[in-house]
Amino acid sequence: MRWLVILCLVLLPRLALAQDDDTAMLVADRVFLQGRTRVVAEGSVEVLQGDARLRASRVSYDRDSEQLLIEGPIVLTRGADQVIIADAADLDRDLRNGMIRGARMVLNQQLQLAAARLDRVDGRYSQLTRATVSSCKVCGNRPPLWQIKARRIIHDQEEMQLYFDDARMEVLGARIFWLPRLRLPDPNQTRATGFLIPSIRRNSQLATGIKVPYFIKIGDHRDLTLTPYISSKTKTLEWRYRQAYTNGRIEFSGAVTKDELKPAITRAYVEGAGQFDLPRGFQLDFKIAAVSDDAYVTDYGYSDADRLESEVIVSRVRRDEYAAIGLANIHSLRVTEDNATIPSILTDVSYERRLFPRFGGELRLTADQHSHLRYSDRNTDGPDADLVTDGRDVTRLSVGASLRNSWTLPMGIRAQGMIGIDADSFRTAQDATLPQGDSQVSPSVAVTLRWPWVRHGRDGVSEVIEPVAMVAWTGGSALRVANDESTRIEFDEGNLLSLSRFTAPDRRERGLRAAVGVNWTRIDPTGWDARLTFGSVLRSSPDLNFTNSSGLGGTTSDLLIAGQARTASGLTVTARGLFDTSFTVNKAEAKASWVAGRYDLSASYVWLTADAAEDRPNSVSEWAFDTSFDLNPNWRGSLFGRYDIVADEPISAGLGLVYSNECVDVALSASRRFTSSTIVTPATDFSFTIGLRGFSAQTSGGTVARTCR
The 10s digit of each residue's pLDDT in 631-646 is 998 899 999 999 999 9
- The rounded Cα 140 to chain-centroid distance in angstroms is 43
Q: Which residue has the higher pLDDT, 14 or 581?
A: 581
Q: Does residue 442 sit within a domain?
A: no
472 beta partners: 446, 513
Residue 141 lies in a domain: yes
pLDDT of the residue at 658: 94
Give the tens place of pLDDT for each residue, 102-117: 888 888 777 889 998 8
Domain range enclosing 120:
2-191
With cut-offs at 50, 70 and 90, classify the pLDDT of residue 696. Answer: low
In this prediction, residue 384 carries a pLDDT of 47
Query: Among 114, 111, 86, which residue's Cα sits nearest to residue 100?
Result: 86
What are the phi and psi torsion angles at 382 (to 5°)?
65, -135
Residue 371 has pLDDT above 70, yes or no: yes
**382 found inside a domain:** no
Q: How far apart are CA 304 and CA 293, in angstroms?
A: 15
Q: Does the pLDDT value for residue 20 go beyond 50? A: no
pLDDT tens track for 76-102: 887 767 788 888 888 777 667 888 888
Q: Would you state the pLDDT for residue 704?
A: 64
What pLDDT does residue 95 have? 67
The more confident residue out of 189 and 350 is 350
What stretch of H or E contains 129?
Answer: strand 125-134
Look at residue 643 and give its three-state secondary structure: strand
The amino acid sitting at 132 is T
CA dist., res. 553 & res. 561, Å (int): 17
Of 46-55, 203-212, 216-225, least confident by mean pLDDT is: 46-55
Percent of the chain residues topping a pLDDT of 90: 59
Q: How much is the average pLDDT of 548-559?
A: 92
| 23 part of a folded domain | yes
- pLDDT digit string (tens) for 318-329? 999 999 999 999
Torsion of CA 692, 115, 49, 5, to 10 degrees: 170
With the C-alpha atoms ordered 302, 305, 306, 309, is the resulting torsion angle positive or negative?
negative
Confidence (pLDDT) at 83: 85
Beta bridge partners of 448: 416, 470
Q: Residue 34 sits in a domain of what CATH number?
A: 2.60.450.10
Q: What value does the mean pLDDT of the chain take? A: 88
What is the model's pLDDT at position 259?
Answer: 94
In this model, does residue 586 exceed pLDDT 50? yes
pLDDT given for residue 539 in this prediction = 94
pLDDT category of residue 548 using cuts at 50, 70 and 90: confident
CA distance 601 to 599: 6
Residue 178 lies in a domain: yes
Distances from the Cα of 120 to the Cα of 75, 98, 103, angstroms: 15, 5, 11
pLDDT category at 436 given cuts 50, 70, 90 is: very high
Q: What is the pLDDT of residues 60-76, one digit of tens each?
A: 888 888 787 888 788 88
The total domain count for the chain is 1
**pLDDT tens digit sequence for 271-295:** 999 999 999 999 999 999 999 999 9
Helix (DSSP H) and strand (DSSP E) numbers for the chain: 2, 41
Domain membership of residue 247 (yes or no) is no
Q: Is residue 269 part of a domain?
A: no
pTM, 2 dp: 0.82
For residue 705, name the pLDDT band (cuts at 50, 70, 90): low
In a domain, 706, yes or no: no
Residue 119 bridge partners (DSSP): 99, 127
Give which of 412, 338, 326 is closest to 369, Cα–Cα: 326
Percent with pLDDT over 70 in the chain: 92
E strands, 339-392, are 345-355, 362-373
Q: Is residue 23 very low, low, confident or very high in pLDDT (cuts 50, 70, 90)?
A: low
Using DSSP's 3-state secondary structure scheme, residue 705 falls into coil
Mean pLDDT of 352-381: 89
Which segments of 173-298 are extended strands (E)? 174-185, 194-195, 199-203, 207-211, 214-219, 222-231, 234-245, 248-259, 267-277, 283-291
